[in-house]
Amino acid sequence: MPDSPMSIKITPEMKEYICARSTDLRVATTCEGPLIFSVKVSPPKATDSVVAVGDRKVYISSLQAQYLKVIDERMMPRCALEKKRR
């Protein structure tokens, strides 16, 4: 998997969220736009770019890597946001 030469900003809240997960994550394309999922839900592909966040890796789909400038809470699936609010 290619390492990411690009500079993508990650908000402090998302860094905390990513580091607190028990698995690596992947930014994938969905009908709602780019969302971040566990690699158990959306496995990484050989063409993904990789960004290290603490002990975790964030895989970014090659399609999203072309356009992505920031990883922020807008990329969290709605179910994760609803859990966070409780």
Q: What is the pLDDT of residues 3-27, one digit of tens each?
A: 544 588 999 999 999 999 999 999 9
Which sequence spans correspond to the domains of the chain? 9-85
- What pLDDT, on a 0 to 100 scale, did the predictor assign at position 4? 44
- What pLDDT, on a 0 to 100 scale, did the predictor assign at position 15? 96
Which residues on neighbouring strands pair with residue 34, listed in sequence order? 29
CATH number (2.60.300, 3.30.1490, 2.60.420, 3.40.1000) of 9-85 reads: 2.60.300
Q: What is the pLDDT of residues 21-60, one digit of tens each?
A: 999 999 999 988 899 999 999 999 999 999 999 999 999 9
